[in-house]
Amino acid sequence: MHCSPLIKRAAGDKYHPESFKQRWEILKKLGEGGFSKVTIGKRKSEEDSVYSGFGPSNASRDEVASEVAIKCISKEDMRNGSESEELVAREIQTFVTVGNGYPYVAQLYEVCEDEKFVYLIMELLSGGELFDQIVQRGHFSERDASAIASCMISSVAHCHSKHVVHRDLKPENFVFESRAHDAKLKLIDFGLAAIMASPASTFRTICGSPSYVAPEILYQKPYTYKVDVWSLGVIIYILLAGYAPFEAKDEKELFRRIKHDPVRMEGKEWDAVSSDAKHFVASLLEKDPRKRPSCEECLEHPWIEKGQHILEEQYHLEHTVKNLKQFNARRNWHAAVAGVTAMNRMARLAHLHHHVLRAVSETDQSEASPLEDKTNNEDEKGRDKSTSPQDGKVEDPVKEGLETSKETLTSSLKTKNEPADNKNSNAKHMPSEKEPFCSCAIS
């Protein structure tokens, strides 16, 4: 048996000592990326069913699908440095922490391994990505937007309650469980997530997706879980308008606009949107994270809390859906050209880090963050980061983040496993419209 102690500790009771080939049969490959591939699979033995082997303790046999998504992570890439074993373990630990039967987060059922791969046996989500389904369904009202926003915020609030910051929220990471009209919308891909020691924990690692990254990350200042709230604000803005709040021809200009430009809600798209919705989105896109609401506070806003009761069955947001079709087409095209989902996690961390530093170097160096000296200067370890680096060396947030995650993960796993409280030019094959979207990103 080829056992990785770190992976085993991270998975806890989700880890199965039998090898993958003893337990699972691969039915179909969905996609292949830089360091992993994703397949559809099922248990080899009908008698030893999926339900009996794993899954939520209160789930019935019918509630656990017979087919699962299997993410196969290359151990060779972990050995040669293309991927970090610590980050794989942290992703597993995060899924164990935030999943555990919670209905709006994709479930990790089991972890196996052999001499070549670590296998994550996960919930198979077949309903497609958020924006894809809105465009395909056609009719879309503000009431629909409120319901979707409530679901997304609830899933992120749950993560925060479990001391997990997602750090890469974007439309692609919200997927419907099926194509049924009442299908649940679930949060996926915890590859860049971080674990908070406390709600006041701050981080320095530059990560995320450019259009959805919070301004405090671009200022390279310590940031908190409030970066997730900003990203939700961007997604909900797009839900209501059909385009992003900040757009530009290149990332340098995009980052400048995110940091400095006001959020505008003008034009025929916004004329059809209620004042409650506008107020809500503006509060999430508050540039000062101290003034930005928490997810729990977001759920108490009238547009979310009472939206389904006070909003009339409003007319179809025609202009929004038209814009969203164009936005979605551009988004899918850029993802295909850039091969974004084929990047491994270390490359994803380095990608934004590189572009942020380049944008900063091309900007007036005298520019100061409006949050200067107002944030807690601690990193993931709680160290004071207010002093300048010695010898004039510039810190590498990516390297720091990896080193920090290794120490934090290793120490946390020693006391872990307590019961919980209550897409791509580099891809060799990508799913067609009729194929299911799996609950894990190809990275």
Q: Tell me the pLDDT tens digit for each residue of 308-332.
A: 666 655 667 888 889 888 888 876 6
What per-residue confidence (pLDDT) applies to 60?
41
The percent of residues above 90 in pLDDT, for the chain, comes to 42
Give the start-end residues of each E strand in 24-151.
24-32, 36-43, 68-74, 108-113, 117-122, 128-129
Q: What is this structure's pTM?
A: 0.77
User: Is the distance from CB of 439 to CB of 103 less than 8 angstroms?
Assistant: no
The CA angle 313-316-319, to the nearest 5 degrees, is 145
Q: In this structure, are residues 424 and 31 in contact, taking their beta carbons and an 8 Å threshold?
A: yes
State the DSSP H helix or E strand holding residue 63, giving kind and residue range, or none if neither: none
Give pLDDT tens digits for 175-230.
999 988 889 999 998 989 999 998 889 999 998 899 999 999 999 999 999 999 99
Q: What is the DSSP letter of 62?
A: G
Q: Which two tokens stand for residue 243?
A: 């385009």
* % of the chain with per-residue pLDDT over 70: 66
Q: Which residue has the higher pLDDT, 105 or 435?
A: 105
Number of CB atoms found within 10 A of residue 415's CB? 7
Whole-angstrom distance, CA of residue 311 vs CA of residue 144: 10
Q: Is 191 left (phi over 0), alpha (psi -120 to 50) or beta?
A: alpha
So what's the pLDDT on residue 81? 66
Residue 86: pLDDT band (50, 70, 90) is confident
Label residue 412 exposed, middle or buried (CB < 10 Å: 0-12, 13-18, 19+): middle
Name beta bridge partners: 119: 72, 112
Region 241-269 average pLDDT: 94
* Secondary structure of residue 96 in the 3-state scheme: helix
| Residue 402: pLDDT over 50 | no
Classify the C-alpha dihedral 181-189-196-286 as positive or negative. Answer: negative
Which residue matches tokens 């989500």?
Answer: 125
pLDDT at 46: 53
For residue 48, pLDDT beyond 60: no
Residue 295's closest CA among 150, 152, 157, 202? Answer: 157
Residue 20 is predicted with a pLDDT of 85
- Token pair, residue 224, equals 């908190």
With 70 as the cut, is the pLDDT of residue 432 above it? no
d(Cα 291, Cα 239) in Å, to the nearest integer?
23
Average pLDDT score over residue span 103-131: 92
Number of Cβ within a 10 Å radius of residue 52: 12
Class of the domain covering 5-122: alpha beta
Give the DSSP letter of residue 55. Answer: S
Helix (H) or strand (E) holding 42: strand 36-43
Per-residue model confidence (pLDDT) at position 435 = 39
Phi-psi region of 261 (alpha: psi -120 to 50; beta: other; left: phi over 0): beta
CA torsion 376→380→386→390, rounded to 10°?
Answer: 180
Mean pLDDT of the 352-356 span: 64
Distance in angstroms (rounded) separating the CA atoms of residues 2 and 17: 10
Q: Which of 1-5, 161-165, 370-374, 377-381 has the lowest mean pLDDT?
A: 377-381
331 three-class SS: helix
- Fold of the domain built from segment(s) 129-353: Transferase(Phosphotransferase); domain 1 (1.10.510)
For the chain, the domains span 5-122, 129-353
Mean pLDDT within 268-296: 96
User: What is the token pair recorded at 148?
Assistant: 């979707």
Residues marked as catalytic: 168
Contact 432, 181 (CB under 8 A): no
Task: Calculate the alpha carbon distances from 309 to 144, 147, 302, 305, 387 in Å.
Answer: 12, 11, 10, 9, 52
Handedness of CA 340, 159, 91, 184 (dihedral sign): negative
For the chain, the residue count is: 443
pLDDT score recorded for residue 314: 64
Domains 5-122 and 129-353 share a fold: no
